[in-house]
Structure 1
Amino acid sequence: MSETTYYPDTPGNDDNPCSPDILDQHDHIKAELAPELIDTVPNPAFILNKDRRIIFYNQSLAKAVGEKRENMILGRRPGELLRCCNTRSNWCGDATPCVQCGALRAIQTAMSGQKSEEECMLLANVDGKIKAYTFMVNSSPIKIKGDEYYIIHLTDISDSKHKEMMERVFLHDLLNAVNGIANAGTLIKIDAIKKEQQELAGMIVERAHYMANEINAHRLFISAEAKQLETDDEPVAVVSFIESICAFYENSQLAKEKNISINSKINEFKLTTDKRILYRILENLVKNAFEASPENGTVSVEAREENNRALFTISNQGTIPMTVAHQIFKRSFSTKGPGRGLGTYSVKMFTENYLRGRVWFDSSKDDGTNFYVEIPLSPSERPLGETPCPSTLQA
């Protein structure tokens, strides 16, 4: 929040909202807690009494609201201090819209004796101008000398929520545009007479489909990171499923001067899982295998069923150096330059967080690099154990 001076204009407020009781409670808290402790918290934090009035706070809160005068903060309720529009004619928490307030819910949960985390969207009137904020509100009950209080932490997530919304809208509109290009390219290809025109239209359609695939992958990743992704399990026929992934890449630019093979040892079997997520996991590993393969190298994809589990192996003839191997699954780590590094991280996140499985790899000069993905054949199976450490790495 910007530094702005706030003046009292809420019901019942005057130039000094501190009552003797508020000051007594403040002194009581101050005597029991070292003020330096709460001031080490980088985000705004404060302590409320049973009337939801602020009786103690840190300097981050004072800075956030642009108010240095202690007597203008103590005694106020959070919405009044933050200039919530609902407090212009009502006390904080008393207006009809307040029943939807995440901050109020978090405080009420703390008052019931439980910790809470809630998202609060607040519309503030700052110096006569409307401004929107989104806070993550963490609340917890606290007892001091037998008296009950409630400690509240605020994290301003306005920028990240705005970015998330804009990204979702952008990707949605972009996907519509790309699908439009693919459809137009298909019509051109159908009507084209010359072979060269058909080939050119085919290239347009192929690249548009590739872009649409990347957009959908990114949307899935965003939902997973935000913990908003829900699994949708369905039967998956493994051989045809892998063939569709390989077919997507074998004619792409990544596969130029490289080969892809489906190991003949693959047995036809089915599993029940989220097809979208499994597709992204294997697709990412196949894509990475192509990028890591030497010229004229071969990317191999295997799958087999054992002990009520499906084991997928994606191999290439390249080698991962020891300095890189121990950072493979870290978010944003990449040897391919800036803006990369979500591939193997997303593989681990999708596999372990959503498919109840595990992923690992090994790499050596003799055997190349092999990534393994193991998941239960059915969601009803218990989650798999710890991910094995890489057994063989090239020093």
Structure 2
Amino acid sequence: MNRNGNLVREPFEEILKSRIEITGIQYIKDILSSLSSVICILNDRNQVVFSNDTMLEKYNLDLEEHVLGVRPGEIFNCVNAVNDTGGCGTTEKCEYCGAKTAFDQAWKQSKKVVRECKITSQKDQETFQLDLEITATPIEFEKKYLIVSIEDITERKRKALLERIFFHDVLNIAGGLSGILELMPVLSDDKKEKYLEIASSLTEQIIDEIQGQQQMMKAELGELQPHFAPIKIDRLLNKLTDQVRFHVVAHEKHTEVVNQTTDREIVTDQTLLTRVLVNMVKNAMEAIPSGASIVLKAKDRGDSVRFSVFNNTYMAHDVQMQIFQRSYSTKGHNRGIGTYSMKLLGERYLRGVVGFSSTEAKGTTFYIDLPDTPQGF
């Protein structure tokens, strides 16, 4: 099929013919090779038929082994490119990919298209996020091709997102704390105790946000060192509910705690696990209306424990397809790292499995499965 279908690949002999055609146009070859940007040329099946030296050198690629005939997502080890449907560009999740959108629109409109692309890349059992800016420009020699420029904007996007969310959240909490302190002089003695408790909680949240920012920076750089120790699950759940009950998203909302582990202990990093679960709770709280409840549960699974947070709302299908990508959110410009951090901290550092289910009939549940004792402890 052609580029609008399942992208059946051209034989390698045809790829080589296209490469010979392009490299035979000396000025095109010289121009592209002189650029410091990563450049490749795609055929109408979105397979690479030419790349400049910058691409090969930057990503340590061999032209014939790693580049010719493959598609961009496969070069960057996109997790969605490993499939039984034909590779990069052929899965349901690929329909939400900025690179595929750029390619499709450039082919269809016969003009330059620029799109940002988020890739979850996996190499040597390590998973990390890439943010790329893709520029696709149609060009015609004997056949039609796309010249594709790829700019890695990962660090810029990561830094901007973390800073934006950090300042947004801290300012919100500090605003709430300021409001309470202004009320204190006019409160009766019986109300002051409760409001001091809220003020203390908000202060702790500000400290927690600062520590969370530091943890995420270290986590993304691979510098975070988890500290594993035995913890009591019932104490963890009680502490967690105390921590979130005065949070702004918990106002007039309720948390039901269900502990099905019967005085169980697990070995984990309590600080990191608490951060994962707080993000799950906040995510669920933001999804429900005032007066509604969520369910925080711990369930015995033999040699592991499942921590889960349920709310009775449903996530649209397109949201589910993109849910663990950094900076993707349905909650506005200043959101988009909660679910991503669940995955990053829960899997890379706590050695668990993070996932979710969401249906109209059963609502939405996020969970993390943790072994009783992490491997190698």
Q: What TM-score, normalized to structure 1?
A: 0.49
Q: 2:295 aligns with which of 274, 290, 300?
A: 300
Change beyond 3 A, Cα 1:329–1:40: same
How many residues align structurally? Answer: 226
Deviations 1:217-276, CA, capped at 9 Å, x for gaps: 121111111221111111111111011111222243322222211115343211111212
CA contact under 8 A between 2:305 and 2:369: conserved in structure 1?
yes
**Offset at residue 36 of structure 1 (A):** 5.1
Contact 1:266/1:302 (<8 A) preserved: no
In the other structure, the counterpart of 2:282 is 287
Cross-structure match for 2:348: 353
Stretches of structure 1 that go unaligned for 5 or more consecutive residues are: 1-33, 44-56, 59-154, 383-395
State the alpha-carbon separation in 2 of the partners of residues 244 and 291 from structure 1: 20
Partner of residue 309 from structure 1, selected from 304, 312, 331: 304
Distance 1:248 1:374 in 2: 22
Quote the offset at 1:369 in angstroms. 0.6
> Is the counterpart of residue 380 in structure 1 residue 375 in structure 2?
yes
Deviation at 1:193, TM superposition (A): 8.5
In the alignment, is the contact (CA less than 8 A) between 2:354 and 2:369 conserved in 1? yes
Per-residue CA deviation, residues 28-74 of structure 1 (Å, 9 max, x unaligned), is xxxxxx7556424328xxxxxxxxxxxxx99xxxxxxxxxxxxxxxx
Q: Which amino acid aligns with 1:326?
A: M
Asked if 1 retains the 8 angstrom alpha-carbon contact of 2:309 and 2:365, the reply is yes
SS at structure 1 position matched to 2:315: coil
**1:318–1:156: structure 2 CA closer, same or farther, 3 Å change rule?**
closer
Taking the aligned partners of 2:286 and 2:376, their CA distance within structure 1 comes to 34
Structure 2 counterpart of 1:237, from 232, 251, 264? 232
1:229 aligned counterpart, secondary structure: coil
Comparing 366-375 with 259-268, which one deviates more in the overlay?
A: 259-268
Question: What amino acid is the match of 2:292?
Answer: G
Distance 1:332 1:156, change over 3 A: closer
Residue 7 of structure 1 is matched in structure 2 by none
User: Is the 1:267–1:304 Cα contact (8 Å) retained in structure 2?
Assistant: no
Give 1:356 deviation, angstroms. Answer: 1.6
Q: Secondary structure at the match of 2:274?
A: helix
- Find out whether 1:213 has 2:208 as its counterpart: yes
State the one-letter code of the partner of 2:285: F
Query: In structure 1, which of residues 271, 274, 288 is the aligned counterpart of residue 269 of structure 2?
Result: 274
**Match in the other structure for 1:261:** 256
Identity %: 28
Determine which of 226, 244, 250 is the counterpart of 2:245: 250
Greater radius of gyration (CA) = 1
Q: Give the partner amino acid of 1:201.
A: L
Letter of the 2:296 partner, please give it.
V
Structure 2 Cα separation of the partners of residues 325 and 215 of structure 1 = 29
Distance in 2 separating the partners of 1:205 and 1:327: 36
Q: Distance in 2 between matches of 1:272 and 1:324?
A: 33
- Within the candidate set 353, 362, 365, 2:357 is matched to 362
User: Within 1, Cα distance between the matches of 2:259 and 2:220?
Assistant: 36
Q: Match for 1:206: what amino acid?
A: S
Measure the CA separation in 2 of the matches of 1:248 and 1:156.
Answer: 38
Once residues 232 and 279 of structure 2 are traced to their aligned partners in structure 1, the CA distance between those partners, rounded to angstroms, is: 19
Greater RCO, 1 or 2 (C-alpha within 8 Å, sep 6+) = 2
Cα shift at 1:284:
0.4
Cα separation, partners in 2 of 1:199 and 1:352, compared to 1, 3 Å: closer
Change (3 A) 1:313 1:200: closer
Is 1:228 the counterpart of 2:223? The answer is: yes
Partner of 2:120: none
Native 8 Å contact 1:267 1:303 kept in 2: no
Say if 1:311 and 1:375, in contact at 8 Å, map to a contact too.
yes
Q: Is the 8 A contact 2:202 2:246 kept in 1?
A: no
How far residue 328 of structure 1 moved from its aligned partner, in angstroms, is: 0.9
Secondary structure at the residue paired with 2:199? helix
Equivalent-residue separation in structure 2 for 1:156 and 1:325 (angstroms): 25
Aligned to 1:96: none
Please say if 1:194 is aligned against 2:189.
yes
RMSD: 3.9
Matched position secondary structure for 1:278: helix
SS in 2 for 1:235: strand
| Local SS of the residue matching 1:345 | helix
From 309, 333, 338, the equivalent of 2:333 is 338
Query: What runs of 5+ residues in structure 2 fail to find an aligned partner?
Result: 1-28, 39-52, 55-150
Q: Structure 1 residues 193, 215: CA separation in 2 closer, same or farther (over 3 Å shift)?
A: same
**Counterpart Cα distance in 2 of 1:370 and 1:360:** 9
Q: List structure 1 segments (4+ residues) > 4 angstroms apart after TM superposition.
A: 34-38
TM-score normalized by structure 2?
0.51
Question: Is residue 358–residue 373 contact of structure 1 (8 Å, CA) maintained in 2?
Answer: yes
Q: What pairs with 1:1-395 in structure 2 (closer than 5 Å)?
A: 38-42=33-37, 194-380=189-375
